[in-house]
A and B are shown apart, each in its own frame.
Chain A
């Protein structure tokens, strides 16, 4: 079955700088890669997703890249703000969603 690895587990970034979270997946049949943001006491909220026929997608300060050959995908957040502090999960989907272990992002003032 699918296995998703996510790094780093914790990331501290100065406000205004960029943050990058990286994931790898194992099943080449996976074709959909959502990213979720989870704030304290809340459920995961979809922030951006990418499908396997696309290499990059951008939505304002958030971008995702996908390298199907290497089975890598990454989340990039630019001009980070305090409200970006949260836990971020990558996921890969074949017949069901498999989540990574999460990255706790701290935005430092």
Chain B
């Protein structure tokens, strides 16, 4: 069964540095998402992306964050000037069609640790 793959599985970064989290969505999917899960808490929506532009974003997704689909397969989340509170699991997801009524398939996440 096709999977969403994320790299790296664990990223350790010094506070203030920039980090790029990478995702390869399922190949025939057109909608892409990033979520965050702080340890022991619920999964929180960050951003959705379709047709090379952001379609929806949460209040968490401020100017520190950006997303990009640099080629036909990768979908990246960039976090600038990382802060301690950015430490979390970051999940990428994709779906064939838009969020309503279409299941989203999640990757296994990148654990981001900010020191």
Set of chain A residues within 8 Å of B109, measured between Cβ atoms: 42-43
Set of chain A residues within 8 Å of B106, measured between Cβ atoms: 36, 43-46
The total number of A-B Cβ pairs within 8 Å is 56
A51 at the interface (CB under 8 A from B): yes
Set of chain A residues within 8 Å of B103, measured between Cβ atoms: 34, 46, 49
Chain B interface size band reads: 20 to 34
Docked complex: B39-94 residues within 8 A CB-CB of A: 41-45, 48, 56, 58, 91
- Output the least CB separation between A14 and chain B (Å): 26
Q: Do the beta carbons of A51 and B108 come within 8 Å of each other? A: no
A96 at the interface (CB under 8 A from B): yes
A36 to B109, CA, bound (A): 15
Residue in contact with A102 in the complex, picked from B4, B33, B42, B56, CB distance below 8 Å? B42
Set of chain B residues within 8 Å of A94, measured between Cβ atoms: 100
Given A41-B108, A42-B108, A46-B105, does the pair A93, B42 have CB atoms closer than 8 Å? no
Residue in contact with B101 in the complex, picked from A46, A51, A96, A102, CB distance below 8 Å? A51
Set of chain A residues within 8 Å of B100, measured between Cβ atoms: 31-32, 93-95
* Chain B residues with a Cβ under 8 A of chain A: 4, 6, 33, 41-45, 48, 56, 58, 91, 99-109
* Chain A residues with a Cβ under 8 A of chain B: 31-32, 34, 36, 41-46, 49, 51, 89, 93-102
